[in-house]
């Protein structure tokens, strides 16, 4: 990978680090694109991506790894990686992917893209009742009956703050922004 980037006309090789711990003190110096392996000694690449994206918003992180486990893929993307390439990709494909990232894309090896798509399709098939805990389901039922947070709390013997936390988790799990959207998903289930 180092040789590939060093020999490229379009990209300039910056610093190379052997571990996340070695890289972290320098993250404010990073610019452009940072290529990270997911499996590093010590802290993994997904956590390094998180450190970099929090400290330096102008940097674009991409994973280039031989590991294709869902856990690695999704933790890296969730933490701010804008692409995920498998190391067995041809050199030209990697350079093309880096150009795509530079131009606003989110390059992924075809196999990784397929895994991401499959994950979204699986999640859409799940019913609301499968996504929510029993308590969250109860809270949503009371919300559908028109009860306010305080009333829901009294019915379930919990504080209205706990009800708010349940509502927050419901919104996250259903990927909605407000009560109307949550209730629409609940009723269409």
Residue 65 has pLDDT above 80, yes or no: yes
- What is the C-alpha to C-alpha distance for residues 90 and 132, in angstroms, rounded to an integer? 43
pTM attached to this predicted model: 0.64
Residue at 121 is within a domain = no
CATH of the domain at 47: 3.40.50.2300
Q: Are 36 and 64 in contact (CB under 8 A)?
A: yes
Range of the domain at 148: 128-188
Q: Are residues 82 and 20 in the same domain?
A: yes
Q: Are residues 44 and 91 in the same domain?
A: yes
Q: Provide the number of structural domains found in the chain.
A: 2
Q: Are 101 and 32 in contact (CB under 8 A)?
A: no
Q: Are residues 19 and 101 in the same domain?
A: yes
CATH of the domain at 158: 1.10.10.10
Nearest by Cα to 1 from 34, 46, 43: 34
Q: Are 38 and 65 in contact (CB under 8 A)?
A: yes
pLDDT tier at 125 (50, 70, 90 boundaries)? low
Q: Are residues 12 and 90 in the same domain?
A: yes
pLDDT tier at 124 (50, 70, 90 boundaries)? low
Q: Are residues 97 and 164 in the same domain?
A: no
Q: What is the pLDDT of residues 126-171, one digit of tens each?
A: 677 788 999 999 999 999 999 999 999 999 999 999 999 999 999 9
Q: Are residues 132 and 169 in the same domain?
A: yes
Backbone φ and ψ for 123, nearest 5 degrees, come out as: -65, -35
Residue 5 has pLDDT above 80, yes or no: yes
């Amino acid at each position: 990978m180092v040789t590939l980037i060093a020999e490229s006309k379009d990209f300039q090789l910056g610093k190379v680090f052997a571990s996340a711990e070695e890289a972290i003190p320098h993250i404010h110096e990073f610019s452009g694109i940072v290529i990270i392996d997911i499996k590093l000694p010590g802290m993994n690449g997904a956590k390094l991506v998180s450190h970099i994206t929090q400290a330096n918003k102008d940097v674009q992180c991409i994973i280039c790894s031989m590991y294709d486990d869902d856990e690695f893929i999704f933790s890296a993307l969730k933490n701010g990686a804008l692409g995920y390439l498998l190391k067995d990709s041809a050199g030209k494909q990697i350079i093309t992917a880096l150009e795509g990232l530079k131009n606003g894309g989110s390059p992924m090896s075809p196999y990784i893209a397929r895994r991401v798509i499959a994950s979204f399709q699986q999640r859409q098939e799940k019913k609301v009742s499968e996504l929510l805990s029993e308590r969250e389901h109860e809270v949503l039922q009371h919300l559908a009956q028109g009860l306010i947070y305080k009333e829901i709390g009294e019915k379930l013997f919990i504080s209205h703050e706990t009800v708010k936390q349940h509502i927050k988790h419901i919104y996250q799990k259903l990927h909605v922004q407000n009560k109307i959207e949550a209730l629409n998903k609940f009723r269409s289930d």
